[in-house]
Amino acid sequence: MQEGSIVSPVTETPERRAFYQKIDEKNLTALWLSLAELVTTEPRSNCRPALWGFGDIRSLMLEAGELITAKEAERRVLVLENPGLRGQSKITTDLYAGVQLVMPGEVAPAHRHTQSALRFILEGEGGYTAVNGERTLMHEGDFIITPPWAWHDHGNPSADPIFWLDGLDIPVIQMLDASFAEHLHVDQQPITRPVGDSDARYGYNLLPVDHESARGSGSVFNYPYARTREALERLRRSDRWDPCHGLKMRYTNPITGNHAMATIGTFIQLLPKGFAGSGYRSTDATVFVPIEGRGRSYIASHSGDEFVVDWSKRDIFVVPSWHWIRHETTAMDAVLFSYSDRPIQEALHVFREDRGNV
Ligand code: GTQ
C-alpha cells in the first residue's frame, strides 16, 4: 500500500497502456490510476503555511497608492497568494485574502456580487463602508460583513490612509460557477438608513416584532472591536483558559446563532501573556490576523516540518488544513482575529478537529 493511500498502485502493461489511449479519445479515464490522488487518507493540498508582515504590505500599498486611484482600480487591493497556490488568487484552497487601501478623500465605487466579503480593519479610523443603504464607520479591529449581492462602496473622508483585510469566498463561488456581479451607475449608493440602524434592530438581543427570518432579510453587519474586546476582557476574569486556544469566541449572526457568514467562519481569541498553548489541528485551513500584542506560532506539517511564525500586530499568517498549530506569547497579551471555511465544512458534515493528548 502506498503511504497516504487506501489502494495499491497498479502495474502498467502494453495492453493497458493501449487501452488508456483508446478511452482517452472518448473523454474517459481509468479511476484505478487516479483513485489514490482523489481519495486520500488525510487532507493533502498544495496550501502552505505562510506569513505576510504588515510593514512590507503597508509600504507596497502606499506605492500602489501613487500608481493607481481606488476609482480606476475599482478596488485597490494587493492579493495575498499562498506560495503553494500561486496565480490563483487564493490564500487557502477555497478562500481569498487581500489588503485594501483607501486614501483620504477616495471612494471605492459601488458594486455588488454573489461573493461574500469580510473586512477586518487593520489601520486607520474614520473610513466607512456602505452596505444596502446604510453606512458603518470603521475602527481598528472592527469586523464588517458584506453579504452576497449587497451593494457596497467604501470611502475615506479622514486625513489618513485606511488599510483593511478583505476575506472573500471567491474560490468557493468559482467552484460553484455562481459568480454574478454588477456595477452601480453612481459611485456611492443612496443612503436610506442612519448609521447604527442594523445594530439597533438586530444587535441588542431584540428583533423588530415583524421580522421574518427569510434569507437576506438583514442582520448585524459591523461587529465593533470595542465591544468584542470588552467581552474578552470580562471573560478573562473567570480565568478559564482553553489549553489550545486561550479564550476563543466565534462571531455569530444574532438572529440564527449560526456563524456570522454562511461560507466563512470568523473568530476572535485572547492569548494572555506567558501563554504556552498545546497543539491543535482542524480541517479548516485558517487565516490569522493578530490585532494586539505579539507572539510566536509553530505550524507543523504532516511530514513533521515546522514553520515558525513570529507575528505582531496586523501581520497575516495562514495555517493549512490538518497542520498542527500551537501559540506562544511572552511579555504581552495578544488578540488574534481569524477566518476559515468552517461553516461550509460543518454544513457538509466533514469538519474534524484534533487536540492531540489534551
Ligand atoms: O471590496 O468589493 O479584495 O469585490 C476583492 C473583490 C474586495 C470589494 C476584494 C472585491 C472587493
Which helix (H) or strand (E) segment is 19 a member of? helix 14-24
For 177, residues 6+ apart whose C-beta sits below 8 A from its C-beta are none
Residue 108 Cα: closest atom of ligand 1: 1
* Predicted pLDDT at 13: 97
* Predicted pLDDT at 212: 83
For 217, residues 6+ apart whose C-beta sits below 8 A from its C-beta are 211
* Predicted pLDDT at 130: 97
- Same domain as 65, residue 25: no
Cβ atoms of residues 197 and 166 within 8 Å = no
- Same domain as 249, residue 321: yes
Residue 115 Cα: closest atom of ligand 1: 4
* Predicted pLDDT at 150: 97
Q: Where are the alpha helices (DSSP H) in 82-202?
A: 170-176, 197-202
- Same domain as 61, residue 35: no
Cβ atoms of residues 171 and 96 within 8 Å = yes
The conformation of residue 106, written as its DSSP 8-state character, comes to -
* Predicted pLDDT at 4: 74
CA-nearest residue for atom 1, ligand 1, is 75
Residues 115, 120, 124, 128, CA torsion sign: positive
Residues 61, 65, 70, 74, CA torsion sign: negative
Residue type, 167: G
- Same domain as 251, residue 114: yes
> Cβ < 6 Å from ligand 1: which residues?
75, 77, 98, 100, 113, 117, 152, 166, 168
Three-state SS for 298?
A: strand
- Same domain as 70, residue 3: no
For 350, residues 6+ apart whose C-beta sits below 8 A from its C-beta are 283
Predicted TM-score (pTM) of the model is 0.96
- Same domain as 31, residue 80: no
* Predicted pLDDT at 215: 57
- Same domain as 122, residue 10: no
Distance from CA of residue 286 to its chain's centroid?
Answer: 7
By most ligand atoms within 8 Å of CB, the mutation choice from 61, 75, 151 for ligand 1 is 75
* Predicted pLDDT at 1: 53
- Same domain as 113, residue 6: no
* Predicted pLDDT at 214: 59
Length of the chain in residues, anyone? 358
By most ligand atoms within 8 Å of CB, the mutation choice from 61, 71, 100 for ligand 1 is 100
Centre of ligand 1 from the C-alpha of residue 174, in Å: 15
Residue type, 298: Y
Residue 77 Cα: closest atom of ligand 1: 3
Q: Where residue 128 sits, what CATH number does that domain have? A: 2.60.120.10
Left if phi > 0, otherwise alpha if psi is -120 to 50, otherwise beta: which for 281? beta
- Same domain as 251, residue 223: yes
* Predicted pLDDT at 333: 98
* Predicted pLDDT at 217: 67
Number of domain units in the chain:
2
* Predicted pLDDT at 304: 83
Cross-strand bridge partners of residue 272: none
- Same domain as 29, residue 55: no
- Same domain as 94, residue 135: yes
* Predicted pLDDT at 218: 79
- Same domain as 86, residue 37: no
User: In the chain, which stretches have pLDDT less than 50?
Assistant: none
Centre of ligand 1 from the C-alpha of residue 79, in Å: 10
Q: Determine the structural domain holding residue 25 and report its residue range.
A: 1-41
Among all chains, which residue has been given the C-alpha cell 452596505?
Answer: 131
Centre of ligand 1 from the C-alpha of residue 74, in Å: 8
By most ligand atoms within 8 Å of CB, the mutation choice from 76, 91, 166 for ligand 1 is 166
For 265, residues 6+ apart whose C-beta sits below 8 A from its C-beta are 250, 259, 284, 339, 340, 341, 342, 343
